[in-house]
Structure 1
Amino acid sequence: MRGPIRRRVLVATLVAALVAVVVTTIAALTLVRGVDNSAGRDALAAQVQRLASATPAARQAVVDGLSQLGDQGVLVALVTPRGAVAGSASAEAVPRVRLELRAGRPVSTTVRRDGRSYLVEARPVAGGGGGVVGAQDASTARTLTPAVLTRLAIALAIGIVVALVAALVVARALSRPLVRLAGAARRLADGERDVALEPSGIDEVADVEAALGSLDRALARSEGRQREFLLSISHELRTPLTAIRGYAEALRDGVVPLEQLPEVGRTLEAESTRLTAFTDDLLALARLEADDFPLQEADVELGAVLREAEVAWLATASVGGVEIEVDAVGPVVARTDAARVRQVVDGLLENALRVSPAGSRIVVRAGRAEDGAAIVEVADGGPGLTPDDAAQAFERGRLRDRYRDVRPVGTGLGLSIAARLVERLGGTITAHSTPGGAVFRISLPRAGA
């Protein structure tokens, strides 16, 4: 059934009430009819017993002069010792009733005749010699049923009305907090934050309210971080753009001496490189969020990937006076994308070279975890990470904003890109500090996984 919950609760309550009415009516009718039949049979048996205890002349007078006993339509008949029957209840004195009477046993039974049921009571007369048979239409014997049915119908009608009123009250009580929740959700969708929610006394609705409140706070935090990130990126983009624009205006106006042109060219190249790094990182993040991000999975020997990265970064490391060492004993094979693993390692090496002072060493390892997963570690010689740094290392721009005035920082996107790449590869990445610096650990699916 489609429609608002108020209508559903109302219809469900009415259906339940009607089912209860039908079941109650059937049970009550069965009970009342049983009681009515028992009462009618007891009354009939008492009359037949009195007649059986009367004198033969009195019994004969009843049968000869009357067709029934009392005002309830009781038919009577006499059964002789030889089984002959005389009286208005002759049709109900069926052979099995006569047989029982001739044997001196009382009879209490029901006989069907002409589509009707008759209550039949038969008692033998004292001293033997037949007996008395009384019969009464079962429908006329039910004196309680009509009155009870009338009162039962009134009571059930009152019950349905009360159920309808209760359903309206319950439906209103249930729908009101849900309507408020829907309104709060729409306000959140429209961009409003810190939406106040009126507490509800319904546990399930209170759970939804708590979840909606958590969503509200999470959205506020996420949007706050996005604003901080955009402000940071805007600042970083503005700095090189300002330099490029200033030198471009100076070149246009011819105020740059010829001997300074190489220096100006180097400055423009450096600032352009910074802009390229920012845009490349932003594009990488955008691609990582796409559903069709390409991966070329195969069995990859990680030691070979690390040695290729070592060769590529040796020149940069030697300029900074930093040593790079690859520690990969034996083949370490993972089921992954070699190019993407190299991209992650390059990002971690760039980050390590930025924070490692001259004379320090960067160690890149490949190995196996206890569960068989392939492991890659990049350990730098920098200042290390606090527990809070390690917990937030892969959030965009968090460490950059925290240490931008303390030590060299990058775009703030490199570790976030590394974390998303590893996630896409089906692995995990963690960060922790050691006495000699920081260690970034990558876990990748083993070969054949």
Structure 2
Amino acid sequence: MKHWPLAIKIWFVFAALLLCIFLMMASVLPYLLKSFFTEQTYAMIRDSQQQLNFLTDISGEGHIEFRDDGGVGLKRNLPTDQAAPNDDPADGRLEKVQPTGYMGGPAIGHLLLVEGKAYFLNSDRSLPDSLTRRLEQEASGQLTALETNAVKVDGNTLFYAISKTSNGGSSVLISYAWSEYRNEMTGAMFRNLLLLLIAFMILSSIPCIWLARYLSGPLARMKRQVKRMSEGNWHEPFESGRRDEIGKLSLAFDEMRQRLLRQDETQQALLQNISHELKTPVMIIRNYAQSIVDGIYPRGTMEGSVDTILQESDRIMERIYELISLSRLQYVSSREVPHQWFNIADVVQGTVERLRFRRPALHWIVEPPSWRIHGNVEQWRVVFENLLDNQIRYAHRQISITASVDESRTRIIEIRNDGPLLEAAMLKDLFEPYRTGTGGQFGLGLAIVRQILTSCGAQIEVSNEQSGVSFRLKLAKEDRE
């Protein structure tokens, strides 16, 4: 699935979600619907019985008369002025009881038990005799006034309610209805819900497709731009016009593009500067060597001319060493190097003693920390060599090295010089590779410093102070040997 297009994934998730909902509904909904319509059927049966209470609780208005045809009628004693002209007022009026039920609901039948005889109050008298006797027995053993129950008959379910009356204590009204109504309503509603769910799944594909295109469109554009970047086209910006996660991703890609563009420009400048810096000493060495072969000494003596050749050779070696150091550090930054416990003060003091003679006139304030740290001695020596070489190059009169521990127990080594302040634009990118420094000098020393410190879990910051420039090395909390 991880290799599918985004549109297919989104639609698949929606379809799977709807399918799960459908399966849950298919397993649970029929029982819920059957339970609901069963309760409705019982409620209709009880309501129908209440409509026939006048047969079982007459209270003196008349009496029940059972006709010869097996039907049941009610003979009411009505006043003379309400009696029909053709009826005998003394005998009252005989009314035939009509079958009861609900329009659009289940067909409800009624069975009246009076003094051991069964009378159907509706035209449907198809209840089996065995079922009729079972109902009579159940009614005779009933203790409460009203009970509801159900019974299976030839695969069908009969719902019924047995109600005892107060008509002499011997009348029982049994109302019943078959389960066809419940089953039909359950099936019809389930089919309608199924069709509704299918229609919803079909209609949901439209917003799914729109959402997939809405999400995948910017990603496709970024993919094309990244491909152009891989071909060397750095100048087309990433512009999505959005503020969501895709917009933030687009901004991150654009920042990467700008960073790569600056790095590409600095690499081009590096090639030009390196070619210039190597070309000049090589030409000097060649000219001096050719002059010596011809018996001419440009510096007046053989020793002076050879010293110039050696100095220019050192310049070449310094540039080559910087390039090799950066390349080596980038290669081994993700690999383990041998670590050991050592005193950082020894590394600082040793580096100062080796480099201070480059400018003997400088005043040094050295207060190295007495910390023992766990790391690679050679890497830390390179860090202080490159930093102090930078300080010696730009300091006017003084360089200071101090140590402290802040409130969060972070160990700080601060190296200051009283040289010229750095430009604001240079502060941001001072530790970037191939960065041109003040005065146009091109070096990799500070980039190497940051590469080493990052691999050691340390940080370096630079800031302008009133008296010059300050470099702060922030080490992790105090180690335990």
- Shorter-chain TM-score category? 0.7 to 0.9
* Structure 2 match to 1:417: 448
User: Offset of 1:397 from its aligned partner?
Assistant: 5.1
User: Offset of 1:7 from its aligned partner?
Assistant: 1.0
User: Are positions 1:305 and 2:309 aligned together?
Assistant: no
Among 328, 333, 341, the residue aligned to 2:380: 341
Among 439, 446, 451, the residue aligned to 1:403: 439
* Structure 1 match to 2:254: 213
User: SS of the residue aligned with 1:294?
Assistant: coil
Counterparts of 2:40 and 2:464, CA distance in 1: 91
Among 301, 306, 314, the residue aligned to 1:265: 306
Task: For 1:40-439, list aligned pairs within 5 A.
Answer: 41=45, 45=49, 55-58=64-67, 61-62=70-71, 77-81=111-115, 88=127, 89-93=131-135, 95-100=137-142, 105-124=145-164, 126-140=167-181, 144-145=185-186, 148=189, 151-197=192-238, 199=240, 203-247=244-288, 254=294, 256=296, 261-289=302-330, 290=332, 291-292=334-335, 294-300=337-343, 302=345, 304-318=346-360, 321-328=361-368, 331-356=370-395, 360-366=397-403, 368-369=405-406, 371-385=408-422, 389-396=426-433, 398=435, 400=437, 402-404=438-440, 409=441, 411-434=442-465, 436-439=467-470
User: Offset of 1:237 from its aligned partner?
Assistant: 1.9
Deviations 1:204-259 (A, max 9, x none): 3333223222322232233223333333223222222233344456567x474696
Deviations 1:111-153 (A, max 9, x none): 3445532121344564442334343322256664555555555
Counterparts of 1:255 and 1:217, CA distance in 2: 55
Matched to 1:120, the amino acid is Y
Matched to 2:443, the amino acid is G
Q: What residue ranges of structure 2 are gaps of 5+ in the alignment? A: 73-98, 120-124
| Deviates most, 186-195 or 42-51 | 42-51
User: Are positions 1:440 and 2:471 aligned together?
Assistant: yes
Counterparts of 1:73 and 1:368, CA distance in 2: 93
1:448/1:59 CA distance change after superposition, 3 Å = farther
1:94/1:188 CA distance change after superposition, 3 Å = farther
Residues 44 and 121 of structure 1 are in contact (CA less than 8 Å); yes or no, is this contact kept in structure 2?
A: no
1:335/1:186 CA distance change after superposition, 3 Å = same
* Structure 2 match to 1:66: none
Q: Which has the higher helix share?
A: 1
Counterparts of 2:33 and 2:107, CA distance in 1: 23
User: Offset of 1:285 from its aligned partner?
Assistant: 1.3
Residues 364 and 400 of structure 2 are in contact (CA less than 8 Å); yes or no, is this contact kept in structure 1?
A: yes
Normalising by structure 2, report the TM-score: 0.72
Residues 299 and 447 of structure 1 are in contact (CA less than 8 Å); yes or no, is this contact kept in structure 2?
A: no
User: SS of the residue aligned with 1:426?
Assistant: coil
User: SS of the residue aligned with 1:93?
Assistant: helix
User: Offset of 1:57 from its aligned partner?
Assistant: 1.7
Deviations 1:29-70 (A, max 9, x none): 45873576257536864786687688342497049xxxxx79
Residues 267 and 434 of structure 2 are in contact (CA less than 8 Å); yes or no, is this contact kept in structure 1?
A: no
Counterparts of 1:158 and 1:424, CA distance in 2: 59
Matched to 2:380, the amino acid is V
Percent identity reads: 20
User: Offset of 1:388 from its aligned partner?
Assistant: 5.0
Deviations 1:340-360 (A, max 9, x none): 433333333333333345xx3
Counterparts of 1:368 and 1:160, CA distance in 2: 65
User: SS of the residue aligned with 1:298?
Assistant: strand
User: Offset of 1:6 from its aligned partner?
Assistant: 0.9
Residues 400 and 417 of structure 2 are in contact (CA less than 8 Å); yes or no, is this contact kept in structure 1?
A: yes
1:174/1:296 CA distance change after superposition, 3 Å = closer
1:11/1:270 CA distance change after superposition, 3 Å = same
1:123/1:49 CA distance change after superposition, 3 Å = farther
Residues 74 and 136 of structure 1 are in contact (CA less than 8 Å); yes or no, is this contact kept in structure 2?
A: yes
Matched to 1:209, the amino acid is S
User: Offset of 1:90 from its aligned partner?
Assistant: 0.9
Counterparts of 1:362 and 1:348, CA distance in 2: 11
Deviations 1:271-295 (A, max 9, x none): 1110100011111112222223634
Normalising by structure 1, report the TM-score: 0.76
1:368/1:174 CA distance change after superposition, 3 Å = closer
Residues 375 and 442 of structure 1 are in contact (CA less than 8 Å); yes or no, is this contact kept in structure 2?
A: yes
Deviations 1:58-110 (A, max 9, x none): 497049xxxxx7998766645344x676884514515343334xx79344433
Matched to 1:403, the amino acid is G
Residues 104 and 128 of structure 1 are in contact (CA less than 8 Å); yes or no, is this contact kept in structure 2?
A: no
* Structure 1 match to 2:84: none
Residues 32 and 145 of structure 1 are in contact (CA less than 8 Å); yes or no, is this contact kept in structure 2?
A: no
* Structure 2 match to 1:17: 18
Deviations 1:153-195 (A, max 9, x none): 5444433332334433433443333333333333333433233
* Structure 1 match to 2:6: 5
Counterparts of 2:162 and 2:406, CA distance in 1: 96
User: SS of the residue aligned with 1:191?
Assistant: coil
User: Offset of 1:424 from its aligned partner?
Assistant: 3.4
CA RMSD in angstroms, aligned pairs only: 4.1
